[in-house]
């Protein structure tokens, strides 16, 4: 193949993959090349712009390490993560919707019993969280493994604070025989996604902000049901309609109810302000 020009190059590249042994890989790369070339033609990509794109992706790679995944952040902020999540978790009506996983999940978080305080010293107004885990037929799911993680009052997850040893505002608990769960934590606050790197510069150049509306992360697993990875978003947050990673779904928004003082749902007498949140989860059945 010689003398390729701007009209014949795409077909030539695709022909080179004709005998690729992995059919799925061939499908993916064929589509990728088609769309990539179509994009370059559509915008009339200049050499300077191509170089800037290569520099940007190089910066994304350089800042990525075991603790920071800038490529996932790029995928999140371009809406690709949420698109893949939405396609992978088409659920029957009535089931709790999924949303993005995010980069702040940690394996081996501490185990707690219902009623415990998962904040473990994280800064924030106390919040009492409760609800029921059910299956799509309405049946209570007992023994569901519930992993919860969230940012503190300053908008930071424990893993961002430099003290990797101490788990704060995250933990694992299990639903009770009637599907109920309840724990104490702190009020979730909005926070900006990490924006001191190339993705932050991209957002700025595009006139976008890096904020996520306040939320609690949940991952719920139980035998016989699909794993649910989701958030509960705080009603009234000013970023609900402009989430930097496009993860908000109306069905996941719930009110955090403020109390000046008084008796919390678990009977704790509070002399300082606190909040309560109630949220029920519905798991979809696995085959």
Positions touching ligand BEZ (CB under 6 A) are: 73, 76, 100, 102-104, 193, 212, 245
Min. distance of Cβ 156 from ligand BEZ in angstroms?
11
Selection from Fe ion, ligand BEZ, none that 76 binds (CB < 5 to 8 A by kind) is ligand BEZ
> What three-state secondary structure class fits 12?
helix
**C-alpha pair distances (Å), 218 with each of 25, 37, 193, 263, 282:** 33, 40, 18, 26, 12
Considering the complex, state which of residue 129 and residue 132 has its C-beta at the smaller distance from Fe ion. Answer: 129
Considering the complex, state which of residue 102 and residue 200 has its C-beta at the smaller distance from ligand BEZ. Answer: 102
Min. distance of Cβ 102 from ligand BEZ in angstroms?
3
Q: Is 103 left (phi over 0), alpha (psi -120 to 50) or beta?
A: alpha
Considering the complex, state which of residue 76 and residue 189 has its C-beta at the smaller distance from ligand BEZ. Answer: 76
Min. distance of Cβ 22 from ligand BEZ in angstroms?
30
CB contact at 8 A, 265 and 280? no
Considering the complex, state which of residue 102 and residue 124 has its C-beta at the smaller distance from Fe ion. Answer: 102
Q: Which stretch binds Fe ion (CB under 5 A): 98-106, 128-136, 171-179, 197-205?
A: 98-106
Considering the complex, state which of residue 184 and residue 212 has its C-beta at the smaller distance from ligand BEZ. Answer: 212
Selection from Fe ion, ligand BEZ, none that 187 binds (CB < 5 to 8 A by kind) is none
Q: β-strand 191-192 against 211-212: which pairing, if any?
A: antiparallel
Q: Phi first, then psi: what are they for 165, rounded to 5°?
A: -80, -30
Considering the complex, state which of residue 112 and residue 191 has its C-beta at the smaller distance from ligand BEZ. Answer: 191
What's the gap between Cα 271 and its chain centre?
A: 34
Rg (CA), the chain: 23
Full DSSP string of 159-176: GGSS-TT---SEEEEE--
Considering the complex, state which of residue 226 and residue 243 has its C-beta at the smaller distance from ligand BEZ. Answer: 243
Min. distance of Cβ 218 from ligand BEZ in angstroms?
12
190 sits near Fe ion (criterion: CB under 5 A): no
102 sits near Fe ion (criterion: CB under 5 A): yes
Min. distance of Cβ 261 from ligand BEZ in angstroms?
31
CB contact at 8 A, 227 and 219? yes
Min. distance of Cβ 53 from Fe ion in angstroms?
29
**Token output for 174:** 């299990």
Selection from ligand BEZ, Fe ion, none that 245 binds (CB < 5 to 8 A by kind) is ligand BEZ
For the chain, the straight-line distance linking the first and the last C-alpha, in angstroms and rounded, comes to 50
| Cα 245 to Cα 235: distance, rounded to the nearest angstrom | 17
Q: Closest Cα to residue 139, out of 177, 193, 174, 89?
A: 177
Min. distance of Cβ 46 from ligand BEZ in angstroms?
31
Q: Which residues bind Fe ion (CB under 5 A)?
A: 102
């Amino acid at each position: 193949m010689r003398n390729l020009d701007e009209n014949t190059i795409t077909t030539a590249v695709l022909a080179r993959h004709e005998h690729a042994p992995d059919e799925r890989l061939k499908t993916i790369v064929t589509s990728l090349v088609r769309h990539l070339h179509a994009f370059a033609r559509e915008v009339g990509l200049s050499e300077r712009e191509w170089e800037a794109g290569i520099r940007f992706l190089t910066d994304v790679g350089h800042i990525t390490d075991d603790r920071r995944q800038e490529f996932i952040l790029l995928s999140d902020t371009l809406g690709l993560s949420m698109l893949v999540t939405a396609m992978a978790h088409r659920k029957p009506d009535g089931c709790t919707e999924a949303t993005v996983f995010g980069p702040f999940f940690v394996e081996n978080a501490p185990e707690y019993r219902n009623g415990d305080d998962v904040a473990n010293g994280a800064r924030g107004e106390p919040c009492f969280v409760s609800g029921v885990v059910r299956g799509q037929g309405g049946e209570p799911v007992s023994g569901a493994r519930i992993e919860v993680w969230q940012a503190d009052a300053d908008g930071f997850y424990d893993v961002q604070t430099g003290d990797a040893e101490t788990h704060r505002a995250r933990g694992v608990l299990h639903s009770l025989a009637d599907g109920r769960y309840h724990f104490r934590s702190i009020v979730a606050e909005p926070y900006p996604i990490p924006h001191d790197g190339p993705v932050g510069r991209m957002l700025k150049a595009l006139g976008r902000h890096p904020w996520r509306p306040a939320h609690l992360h949940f991952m719920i697993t139980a035998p016989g049901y699909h794993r649910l990875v989701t958030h509960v978003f705080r009603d009234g947050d000013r970023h609900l309609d402009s989430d930097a990673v496009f993860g908000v779904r109306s069905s996941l928004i719930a009110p955090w109810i403020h109390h000046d003082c008084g008796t919390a749902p678990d009977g704790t007498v509070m002399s300082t302000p606190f909040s309560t949140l109630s949220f029920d989860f519905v798991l979809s059945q696995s085959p």
